[in-house]
Amino acid sequence: MKTNDVIFQTVAKVVFFMIIFFAVHLFFAGHYYPGGGFVGGLLTSGALVLLLLAFDMKTVQRGFPVDFKWLIGIGLLFSIGTAAGSLLFNVPFFTHAYNYFQLPLFGKTSLHTAMLFDLGVYLVVIGVTMTIIQTIGESE
Protein backbone atom coordinates (compact mmCIF):
# COMPACT_ATOMS: atom_id res chain seq x y z
CA MET A 1 0.00 0.00 0.00
CA LYS A 2 1.48 3.30 -1.04
CA THR A 3 0.94 6.08 1.41
CA ASN A 4 1.23 9.77 0.73
CA ASP A 5 2.25 11.73 3.80
CA VAL A 6 2.88 15.19 2.39
CA ILE A 7 1.80 16.91 5.59
CA PHE A 8 4.16 14.95 7.80
CA GLN A 9 7.12 15.40 5.44
CA THR A 10 6.56 19.15 5.15
CA VAL A 11 6.15 19.54 8.92
CA ALA A 12 9.27 17.44 9.50
CA LYS A 13 11.33 19.63 7.17
CA VAL A 14 10.35 22.75 9.16
CA VAL A 15 10.50 21.24 12.65
CA PHE A 16 13.91 19.69 11.93
CA PHE A 17 15.55 23.13 11.85
CA MET A 18 13.69 24.25 14.98
CA ILE A 19 14.97 21.23 16.91
CA ILE A 20 18.52 21.71 15.56
CA PHE A 21 18.55 25.37 16.61
CA PHE A 22 17.18 24.49 20.04
CA ALA A 23 19.85 21.79 20.40
CA VAL A 24 22.61 24.25 19.49
CA HIS A 25 21.17 26.74 21.97
CA LEU A 26 21.15 24.07 24.70
CA PHE A 27 24.73 23.14 23.82
CA PHE A 28 26.07 26.68 24.06
CA ALA A 29 23.95 27.60 27.10
CA GLY A 30 25.32 24.63 29.03
CA HIS A 31 27.92 26.62 30.92
CA TYR A 32 25.60 29.10 32.63
CA TYR A 33 22.13 27.59 32.25
CA PRO A 34 20.63 24.08 32.16
CA GLY A 35 21.75 22.15 29.13
CA GLY A 36 25.08 21.04 27.82
CA GLY A 37 26.62 18.52 25.49
CA PHE A 38 24.54 15.52 26.47
CA VAL A 39 21.09 17.04 26.05
CA GLY A 40 22.18 18.93 22.93
CA GLY A 41 23.51 15.77 21.31
CA LEU A 42 20.44 13.78 22.25
CA LEU A 43 18.17 16.46 20.80
CA THR A 44 20.24 16.69 17.60
CA SER A 45 19.91 12.95 17.11
CA GLY A 46 16.20 13.38 17.87
CA ALA A 47 15.97 15.77 14.93
CA LEU A 48 17.76 13.23 12.73
CA VAL A 49 15.36 10.53 13.95
CA LEU A 50 12.45 12.77 12.94
CA LEU A 51 13.93 12.93 9.42
CA LEU A 52 14.37 9.15 9.48
CA LEU A 53 10.69 8.78 10.37
CA ALA A 54 9.49 11.21 7.71
CA PHE A 55 11.74 9.92 4.93
CA ASP A 56 13.73 6.74 4.74
CA MET A 57 17.20 5.62 5.70
CA LYS A 58 18.63 5.96 2.20
CA THR A 59 17.48 9.58 1.75
CA VAL A 60 18.82 10.65 5.12
CA GLN A 61 22.16 8.97 4.43
CA ARG A 62 22.34 10.82 1.14
CA GLY A 63 21.53 14.10 2.89
CA PHE A 64 24.04 13.51 5.69
CA PRO A 65 26.87 11.51 4.15
CA VAL A 66 28.45 10.94 7.56
CA ASP A 67 29.42 7.60 9.00
CA PHE A 68 28.17 8.12 12.54
CA LYS A 69 30.67 5.64 13.91
CA TRP A 70 33.39 8.14 12.99
CA LEU A 71 31.68 10.78 15.13
CA ILE A 72 32.26 8.63 18.23
CA GLY A 73 35.99 8.49 17.55
CA ILE A 74 36.27 12.18 16.71
CA GLY A 75 34.35 13.13 19.85
CA LEU A 76 36.50 10.94 22.08
CA LEU A 77 39.58 12.43 20.43
CA PHE A 78 38.30 15.95 21.21
CA SER A 79 37.70 15.07 24.86
CA ILE A 80 41.01 13.34 25.44
CA GLY A 81 42.79 16.08 23.51
CA THR A 82 41.29 18.76 25.74
CA ALA A 83 42.23 16.77 28.83
CA ALA A 84 45.76 16.04 27.64
CA GLY A 85 46.36 19.54 26.32
CA SER A 86 46.70 20.79 29.89
CA LEU A 87 49.80 18.59 30.25
CA LEU A 88 51.57 20.82 27.71
CA PHE A 89 51.36 23.76 30.14
CA ASN A 90 52.77 21.87 33.15
CA VAL A 91 49.45 21.71 34.98
CA PRO A 92 47.62 18.55 36.13
CA PHE A 93 45.60 16.43 33.72
CA PHE A 94 42.13 17.86 32.96
CA THR A 95 42.94 21.39 34.14
CA HIS A 96 40.78 23.81 32.21
CA ALA A 97 41.61 27.36 31.27
CA TYR A 98 39.42 30.31 30.39
CA ASN A 99 39.78 33.94 29.52
CA TYR A 100 37.71 36.86 28.35
CA PHE A 101 37.94 37.88 24.72
CA GLN A 102 36.57 40.75 22.72
CA LEU A 103 34.74 39.08 19.85
CA PRO A 104 33.54 41.15 16.89
CA LEU A 105 29.85 40.25 17.06
CA PHE A 106 29.30 39.08 20.63
CA GLY A 107 31.31 41.66 22.54
CA LYS A 108 33.01 40.55 25.74
CA THR A 109 32.77 36.77 25.85
CA SER A 110 34.39 34.23 28.10
CA LEU A 111 35.84 31.32 26.16
CA HIS A 112 36.44 28.18 28.17
CA THR A 113 38.24 24.99 27.18
CA ALA A 114 35.45 23.04 28.88
CA MET A 115 33.45 23.87 25.74
CA LEU A 116 35.83 21.72 23.69
CA PHE A 117 35.30 18.84 26.10
CA ASP A 118 31.56 19.40 25.80
CA LEU A 119 31.87 19.34 22.02
CA GLY A 120 33.43 15.88 22.36
CA VAL A 121 30.52 14.72 24.52
CA TYR A 122 28.08 16.18 21.97
CA LEU A 123 29.68 14.32 19.05
CA VAL A 124 29.90 11.03 20.98
CA VAL A 125 26.23 11.20 22.00
CA ILE A 126 25.14 11.87 18.39
CA GLY A 127 27.36 9.06 17.11
CA VAL A 128 26.23 6.47 19.64
CA THR A 129 22.52 7.26 19.33
CA MET A 130 22.48 7.34 15.53
CA THR A 131 24.59 4.18 15.29
CA ILE A 132 22.18 2.31 17.58
CA ILE A 133 19.10 3.52 15.72
CA GLN A 134 20.50 2.90 12.25
CA THR A 135 21.77 -0.54 13.19
CA ILE A 136 18.39 -1.55 14.60
CA GLY A 137 16.48 0.00 11.72
CA GLU A 138 18.56 -1.61 9.00
CA SER A 139 17.97 -5.21 10.00
CA GLU A 140 15.46 -6.89 7.73
Sites of contact with another protein (CB under 8 A): 2-3, 8, 15, 19, 22, 26, 33-35, 39, 43, 46, 49-50, 52-59, 133, 137-138, 140
The three-state secondary structure class of 129 is helix
Q: Is the Cβ of residue 33 or residue 101 nearer to another protein in the bound state?
A: 33
Q: Is the Cβ of residue 23 or residue 121 nearer to another protein in the bound state?
A: 23
Half-sphere exposure of 38 (CA within 13 A, CB side): 1
CB of 127 to another protein, least distance (A): 17
Q: Is the Cβ of residue 42 or residue 74 nearer to another protein in the bound state?
A: 42
State in Å, rounded, how far the first CA of the chain is from the last one: 19
Q: How far apart are CA 89 and CA 72, in angstroms?
A: 27
